[in-house]
Amino acid sequence: MKESINTLTMNAPDDWHIHLRDFDALATTVPHVSANFRRAICMPNLVPPIKTTAQAIAYRERIVAHIPSDSISQQFEPLMVLYLTENLTAQDIEEAVNSGIVKAVKLYPAGATTNSDDGVTNINHCTDVFAKMESLGLPLLLHGEVTHEHVDIFDREKRFIDEVLTQLIFKFPKLKIVFEHITTSDAVDFVLSQSKNICATITPQHLLFNRNHLLVGGLKPHFYCLPVLKRQSHQQVLLDVATSGNPKFFAGTDSAPHATHAKENACGCAGCYSAPLALSLYAQAFDKVDKLDKLEAFMSINGAKFYGLPVNSDKVTLVRDTWQVPDFYEYLGDKTLTPLMAGQKLDWKVLPFGLAV
């Protein structure tokens, strides 16, 4: 076992997949993410979705308006994404790239997750868009699950690889793709077998937990997300590859706020809220396997290089210092928001940007 590390200073991290929601929700989510990350890819599955560059620019303005005024948070940069529909055109892609604001396009299979009803039913209807994205280098972000009712929920990622993703890459071999929030060894093996333009994000919950945490002793609604937590064997493969230093894998929290009453419900919402503690969660996972020396690449370097953006030059410091996750955060005025691991203790504390020990 390596000698214990008690302080870790690294380049400031980015979150390459986050849900901030909109309007009043931004008063909670934006301060949380801007206190911990320099940049974040902001998901477009709002109601209504962000389908045009003009809508993306307006959404970015609403996010920026909620960034706290302190000098540290003010450096936060939201990175915008268009929601792929079968009505999106190649001209829309050109406009998005020329804006400098839109950094990717998101493909949701219709009905796969929260606010995905406007998603894609047949990728063959989007070939002109994919061709234009391939030629301009605009990444495609994938929620990688099929939605057929007869397919077991634990098999939907594997079936997406076999039935959709393989076909897509065959037709567009130079298209930049992020296979988001992967959950299985099948996804890991697939990404590793592909060219460097195929990468993947991994969430903290899929590194730290498996379906036993969700189901044993009763259903735990705050562990419920989509794609759903899988077997411990899949969790271990994800942890191995995340901590390997391989540039194909990087952090995307998929942090998704749902009010506590909507999670703790007869039909609870899918999504784990991790934005204010995500870096501590990732550090916990990497520390568990003595791979803290690989955390910076996963959090701060690999994603930036894939997106063609500079690595953040400022630093963040983590210290080994036990602290307790809050039971809840205030949300939407009179409601609460329960974070992942609410009331539990974490071993790593993130110091404010610019503060070192």
For residues 140-168, give the mean pLDDT.
Answer: 94
CATH classification of the domain holding 233: 3.20.20.140
- How far apart CA 285 and CA 292 sit, in angstroms, is 9
For residues 195-215, give the mean pLDDT.
Answer: 97
Could you tell me which of 55, 60, 157 has the C-alpha nearest to residue 113?
Answer: 157
Token reading at 36: 């911990």
Residue 296 maps to a domain:
yes
Residue 74 confidence class, pLDDT cut points 50, 70, 90: confident
Question: What's the number of domains the chain is made of?
Answer: 1
At 117 the pLDDT is 72
Share of the chain above pLDDT 90, in %: 89
For residues 197-215, give the mean pLDDT.
Answer: 98
**What distances in angstroms separate CA 182 from CA 42, 88, 97, 115, 254, one per listed residue?**
18, 26, 26, 19, 11
Q: How many residues in the chain? A: 357
CB distance 122 to 160 below 8 Å: no
Could you tell me which of 273, 304, 279, 305 has the C-alpha nearest to residue 292?
Answer: 279
Residue 3 maps to a domain:
no
Token reading at 326: 């809050």
Residue 152 confidence class, pLDDT cut points 50, 70, 90: very high
At 335 the pLDDT is 97
The response to whether 20 counts as a known ligand-binding position is yes
Burial classification of residue 194, based on how many CB atoms lie within 10 Å of its CB (0-12 exposed, 13-18 middle, 19 or more buried) = middle
CB distance 181 to 252 below 8 Å: yes
pTM for this prediction:
0.96
The response to whether 254 counts as a known ligand-binding position is yes
Could you tell me which of 253, 312, 249, 304 has the C-alpha nearest to residue 76?
Answer: 312
Could you tell me which of 169, 292, 188, 296 has the C-alpha nearest to residue 248?
Answer: 188
Residue 334 maps to a domain:
no
At 1 the pLDDT is 43
The response to whether 21 counts as a known ligand-binding position is yes
For residues 63-67, give the mean pLDDT.
Answer: 97
Residue 3 confidence class, pLDDT cut points 50, 70, 90: low
Residue 356 confidence class, pLDDT cut points 50, 70, 90: low
Token reading at 43: 């998901």
For 291, what's the count of Cα atoms within 13 Å in the CB-facing half-sphere? 19
- How far apart CA 269 and CA 229 sit, in angstroms, is 15
Q: Give the DSSP H or E segment for 281.
A: helix 278-288
- Condensed to tens digits (0 to 9), the pLDDT of residues 24-48 reads 999 999 999 999 999 999 999 999 9
- Condensed to tens digits (0 to 9), the pLDDT of residues 217-256 reads 999 999 999 999 999 999 999 999 999 999 999 999 999 9
Among the listed residues 92, 186, 254, 287, the single catalytic one is 254
- The residue assigned the tokens 């396009």 is 105
Domain boundaries, position 150: 12-312
Helix then strand then coil, % of the chain, to nearest 5: 40, 20, 45
**Start-to-end C-alpha separation, the chain:** 25
Could you tell me which of 240, 252, 237 has the C-alpha nearest to residue 304?
Answer: 252
At 267 the pLDDT is 87
CB distance 338 to 275 below 8 Å: no
The response to whether 132 counts as a known ligand-binding position is no
Residue 353 maps to a domain:
no
The response to whether 19 counts as a known ligand-binding position is yes
Which amino acid would we find at residue 151? V
Residue 138 maps to a domain:
yes
Residue 350 maps to a domain:
no
Cα 65 to the center of its chain, rounded Å:
22
- Condensed to tens digits (0 to 9), the pLDDT of residues 277-326 reads 999 999 999 999 999 999 999 999 999 999 999 999 999 999 999 999 99
Mean per-residue pLDDT over the chain, rounded: 94
The response to whether 45 counts as a known ligand-binding position is yes
- Residue 293 annotated to the active site: no
Residue 331 maps to a domain:
no
Residue 84 maps to a domain:
yes
- How far apart CA 52 and CA 247 sit, in angstroms, is 31
- The residue assigned the tokens 């949380």 is 32
- How far apart CA 181 and CA 164 sit, in angstroms, is 17
